[in-house]
Amino acid sequence: MKPNYRRCISCRQIGPKESFWRIIRVYPSQEVKLDQGMGRSAYLCSQESCLKLAQQKNRLAKALKTPVPAEIYQQLWKRLETN
């Protein structure tokens, strides 16, 4: 099977799907979640520079076409600290 590739919304780097964090706007509730669910997805590198740029330029909200709650960014920062 051919590997699935995705692109980081911040740095535009392409890589295997498993190397990125997945942020989802769940259908039909429009709720934003991490890693699980079906709906519109955006992918982000697990690097501080990518997360900071995505938060400053509101790239997650633009990619998901919905406002992203501050709790999602807090969870991503916690993940970054544990890696």
Residue 78: pLDDT over 90: yes
Residue 11's pLDDT is: 94
CATH code for 5-82?
Answer: 3.30.1230.10
Confidence of residue 69 (pLDDT cuts 50, 70, 90): very high
Is the pTM higher than 0.75? yes
**Where do the domains of the chain lie?**
5-82
Across the range 65-76, mean pLDDT stands at 95
Give the separation between CA 41 and CA 82, rounded to whole angstroms: 23
- CA distances to 15, 31, 39, 82 from 25, in Å: 22, 6, 6, 24
pLDDT value at position 3? 84
C-alpha distances in Å from residue 4, one per residue of 19, 61, 65, 68 = 11, 24, 23, 25
pLDDT of 5 > 80? The answer is: yes
Cα separation, 83 vs 70, whole angstroms? 20
C-alpha distance across the termini of the chain, in Å: 29
Please write the tens of the pLDDT for every residue from 10-53. Answer: 999 999 999 999 999 999 999 999 998 999 999 999 999 999 99
